[in-house]
Amino acid sequence: MYAITGITGKVGGAVARRLLAAGQPVRAVVRDVERAAIWAERGCELVTAHMEDVSSLTAAFDAARGVFILPPSEFDPEPGFPEACAVISAVSTAISRARPDKVVCLSTIGAQATETNLLSQRTLMEEALRKMPMPVTFLRPGWFMENAAWDVASARNDGVISSYLQPLDKRFPMVATADVGRVAAELLQQTWSGVRIVEIEGPRRVSPNDIASAFSRVLDRPVRAEIVDRQNWETLFLSQGMKHPLPRMRMLDGFNEGWIDFENCPGDVVRGEIELETVIGALALNPS
């Protein structure tokens, strides 16, 4: 039995579908059983657990051949990342108690960065799970191509997408969530020892101009990328309701300045199969 957290999301759902297709038993670890009812229909065992609750997580991970950890994302964290720390404490304690055979944890590109930023939440999770007695793999994907969902309306209506990634011709490591889920499912079914890091990006690197061009082809209209001036980020984020924008700003700085990147040599990074235009096309058809 493979215990999968985050199954109602894009990556967790992709992991579960791949495991089910391979004939593997899946335990869906969910907050809301009603919302996850479709996974019961697909043959999963449903268990209720909260990512901050040790007891429910321990029961969910009990007797599992493998556990997939998808930490919840906190996009406007309080200083010191208390929200992430609560999850990390509960998850690591539950894993220690349940003793699954192995763990695959979704981390991030740049988890090794020493400068504090939004992705430091994953750095903290890695630090905790490195101490586990069973084999652990940290899967570090690049920037999700699906983040372009935020640009669908402006691309369709105005022919413009706003880019915090810059310069506009710089190519960044990006990957489709379906590729991340596929690789995670493959990793769960492997045998290894100790701690390992697997990094993944798409078939080729992607610039903001490339994203605009993909929208142009999919929407059959001119679309251009436009830089959001760094000096305006804080004001914009605060106007959008954020209380603590600095971690997000520093994450974007990390991508733009190059200190958020893969740790391994380029030849050691796993390549996904799904092209940017495929993802953009799906987002344009179903922006929700």
pLDDT > 90? residue 266: no
Q: Which residue in the block uniquely carries the two structure tokens 């906190």?
A: 74
In 86-236, where do the E strands start and end?
Answer: 103-106, 136-141, 143-144, 160-163, 174-175, 195-201, 224-227
Tell me the three state secondary structure of residue 29: strand
* Strands ordered across the beta sheet of 270-271: 45-48, 26-30, 2-5, 66-69, 103-106, 136-141, 195-201, 270-271
pLDDT digits (tens, 9 = 90+) for 248-261: 999 999 999 999 99
Polymer length in residues for the chain: 288
pLDDT digits (tens, 9 = 90+) for 79-116: 999 999 999 999 999 999 999 999 999 999 999 999 99
At residue 223, the pLDDT reads 98
C-beta neighbour count of 127 within 10 angstroms: 12
Q: Which residue in the block uniquely carries the two structure tokens 């251009």?
A: 224
pLDDT > 70? residue 287: no
